[in-house]
Amino acid sequence: MRNRIQQAFDFVHAETDLCQNTKQYIAHEIQNRDLQRPAKRVPVLRYAVSMVCIVLVFVAFSTYQAYTTEVSAISIDGSASLELGINRFDRVVRVSQFDTMQVEESQLLHKNYVEAVDCVMQQEIVSDAANIPIQIGVTADSAKHGQQILACLSTESPDITTHAHCYEVSPEIAEQATQAGISMGKYKIYLQLQEQYPDLALSDISHLCMQDLMAMLYTEGEIPTSTDMQCNSNMGHHENGHRGNGMGKQYGKS
Amino acid sequence: MRSEEEANRAIDLYADTVRRIGMVYLKSYADMEDIFQTVFLKYILHDEDFLNETHEKAWLIRVTINACKDFRKSFFRSRTVSIEEAIQQSAPIEPEAKEVLSAVLALPKKYKDVVYLHYYEGYTAVEIGKILGKNVNTVYTLLARAKKQLKDILGGEQFA
């Protein structure tokens, strides 16, 4: 049965005209539907807006990163110590205070470093005492940049010229000072003191103000104790000078 | 929507199949032409990909059968013509083949499609059930009854 039915149906073919007419009809339909179909709008504006947004976000993020990244630091050590982090735009982005003294950070943040240092110099709590100038240490990402900062500070601020001593601190010492948790200036003096007193520990001098350390450095003798020192706890009462009373630890003396 | 090239390929490949199903269901060449165009129009509008040619052919057969059924229900279909005319409208056919075709087309509507799909296209009862949306057992029953009727019409021995 299958063969006979197959043979019978094999005689049935789609007529050439039928196929041709259908092809023409389909071609016509495709053309009509293509014409009716709205041209695909390329969402150029949407892409452009997206791209602009991405670029803006990227620029904003990069700018923020660049602004908040410190490339140099200035340590100001007087009767109290504080450190300013400076970004590549010469603006203060960090204020670290190492003593109980409180300088309003808002007065310093985002200022040019010369203005910020000037502002700190005006504070009584870091003023020079006992004729020992305020110590201003500078560390930077490159020696050239460090020299530039030092030159700026020396030339652009009369207060600095008359009441401060500026010096450069190597990045290694700055790093060690950060790890030790004291200002760069104090750490540098600590290293110098260690040459005189090899057993001197950081804890022995961490409570001392810069002027006491300077006095120690230049007048070999005993290390003042915290009770002797008034400049850390009572800012503004250090005019008398602090050299210790002989009750402190004796370094380098038997 | 499919391209004109795809449509032309499908027409070249499946025109005979659509034409044969059209002949099974319809008796007017004008109706046949309408169905022919409708089926291939649906083909170009069908966006989903086919797994292979078998899948594509089964889809076209199902669409053709549904289109024919819908067309037969339509009030606007052309006047019907006799089976003889329907066969005559096709290419010249040998007398024996003509006799078999006449016998198939003379079967009740419900038998004609299963006979064509089973004996000509070679689909199993299960596959026919899927294409026509019928129970497999129903397909077996329809095939058995169609075979018996064909034997009666065309002579028992040759259809044994």
Determine whether the interchain pair B104/A7 forms a contact, defined as Cβ–Cβ distance below 8 Å. Answer: no
From chain A, the residues in CB contact with B32 under 8 A are 18
Model confidence at B11: pLDDT above 90: yes
Weakest mean pLDDT among A23-32, A70-79, A92-101, B139-148: A92-101
Model confidence at A141: pLDDT above 90: no
Weakest mean pLDDT among A107-121, B63-77, B119-133: B63-77
| pTM score, whole prediction | 0.47
Weakest mean pLDDT among A47-61, A207-221, B16-30, B125-139: A207-221
Model confidence at B160: pLDDT above 60: no
Model confidence at A229: pLDDT above 60: no
**Contacts of B137-140 spanning 24+ positions with Cβ under 8 A:** B139/B114
Determine whether the interchain pair B37/A25 forms a contact, defined as Cβ–Cβ distance below 8 Å. Answer: yes
From chain B, the residues in CB contact with A11 under 8 A are 90-94, 97, 101
pLDDT for B47 equals 85
Mean local confidence (pLDDT), B82-98: 67
Model confidence at A250: pLDDT above 70: no
CATH class of B1-91: mainly alpha
pLDDT grade for A238, boundaries at 50, 70 and 90: very low
Tokens 């014409």, residue located: A35
Locate CATH 1.10.1740 in chain B. 1-91
pLDDT for B82 equals 55
Does A33 reach chain B within 8 Å, measured CB to CB?
yes
Model confidence at B9: pLDDT above 90: yes
pLDDT for A237 equals 35
Report domain extents, chain A.
70-218
CATH topology of domain B92-160: Arc Repressor Mutant, subunit A (1.10.10)
Q: What is the mean pLDDT of chain A?
A: 78
Q: Which among B3, B32, B115 has the least Cβ separation from residue A5? A: B115
Nearest CA in chain A to B102: A8
Contact A74, A83 (CB under 8 A): yes
pLDDT for A218 equals 76
Model confidence at B24: pLDDT above 60: yes
Determine whether the interchain pair B120/A9 forms a contact, defined as Cβ–Cβ distance below 8 Å. Answer: yes
Task: Compute, in degrees rounded to 10, the torsion defined by CA atoms B152, B158, B159, B160.
Answer: 110
Determine whether the interchain pair B91/A15 forms a contact, defined as Cβ–Cβ distance below 8 Å. Answer: yes
Model confidence at A246: pLDDT above 90: no
pLDDT for A35 equals 64
Nearest CA in chain A to B15: A14
pLDDT grade for A134, boundaries at 50, 70 and 90: confident
Distance (Å, rounded) from C-alpha A15 to C-alpha B91? 8
Mutate to test the interface with B, among A3, A7, A18, A34 (most CBs of B within 10 A): A18
Determine whether the interchain pair A23/B11 forms a contact, defined as Cβ–Cβ distance below 8 Å. Answer: yes
Locate CATH 1.10.10.10 in chain B. 92-160
Give A6-20 as a DSSP string.
HHHHHT----HHHHH
pLDDT for A236 equals 34
Determine whether the interchain pair A14/B94 forms a contact, defined as Cβ–Cβ distance below 8 Å. Answer: no
Give chain A as a DSSP string.
-HHHHHHHHHT----HHHHHHHHHHHHHHHHHHHHHSPPPPP-HHHHHHHHHHHHHHHHHHHHHHHHH-EEEEEEEESSSEEEEEEETTSBEEEEEE-SS----HHHHTTSBHHHHHHHHHHSGGG--BTTBPEEEEEEESSHHHHHHHHHHHHHH-HHHHHHEEEEE--HHHHHHHHHHTS-HHHHHHHHHHHHH-TT--HHHHTTS-HHHHHHHHHS-SPPPPTTT--TTTSTT--TT-----S-S--SS--
Q: Which among A2, A8, A26 has the least Cβ separation from residue B101? A: A8
pLDDT for A101 equals 61
pLDDT for B80 equals 55
Minimum distance, in Å, between the CA of residue B29 and any CA atom of chain A = 10
- Residues paired with residue A97 on neighbouring β-strands, in sequence order: A82
Reference A159, options A76, A103, A100; nearest CA is A76
Determine whether the interchain pair A30/B101 forms a contact, defined as Cβ–Cβ distance below 8 Å. Answer: no
Model confidence at A53: pLDDT above 60: yes
pLDDT for A242 equals 33
Mean local confidence (pLDDT), B124-135: 91
Pairing of strands A134-140, A92-97: unpaired
Give B95 or B119, the one with higher predicted confidence. Answer: B119
Highest mean pLDDT: which of A32-46, A177-191, A230-244, B75-89? A177-191
Give A235 or B56, the one with higher predicted confidence. Answer: B56
Q: Number of CB pairs < 8 Å for A and B? A: 102
Model confidence at A118: pLDDT above 90: no
Distance (Å, rounded) from C-alpha B129 to C-alpha B140? 9
pLDDT for A36 equals 65
Model confidence at A213: pLDDT above 90: no
pLDDT grade for A228, boundaries at 50, 70 and 90: very low
Cβ neighbours of residue A247 closer than 8 Å, sequence gap 6 or more: A222, A225, A228
Weakest mean pLDDT among A61-75, A198-212, B112-126: A198-212
Distance (Å, rounded) from C-alpha A160 to C-alpha A88? 22
Distance (Å, rounded) from C-alpha A146 to C-alpha B149? 109
Determine whether the interchain pair A27/B4 forms a contact, defined as Cβ–Cβ distance below 8 Å. Answer: yes
Reference A92, options A102, A82, A79, A101; nearest CA is A82
Q: Which among A2, A12, A22 has the least Cβ separation from residue B37? A: A22
Model confidence at B83: pLDDT above 70: no
Q: Which among B7, B91, B159 has the least Cβ separation from residue A1? A: B159
Structure tokens at A138: 């500078």
The complex's ipTM works out to 0.84
Model confidence at B64: pLDDT above 90: yes
Q: Which among B11, B41, B91 has the least Cβ separation from residue A29? A: B41
Q: How many CB atoms lie within 10 A of CB A218?
A: 8
Which residues of chain B approach chain A closer than 8 Å at the C-beta? 1, 3-4, 7-8, 11-12, 15-16, 18-20, 23, 32-33, 36-37, 40-41, 44, 90-94, 96-101, 104, 115-116, 119-120, 147, 150, 154, 158-159
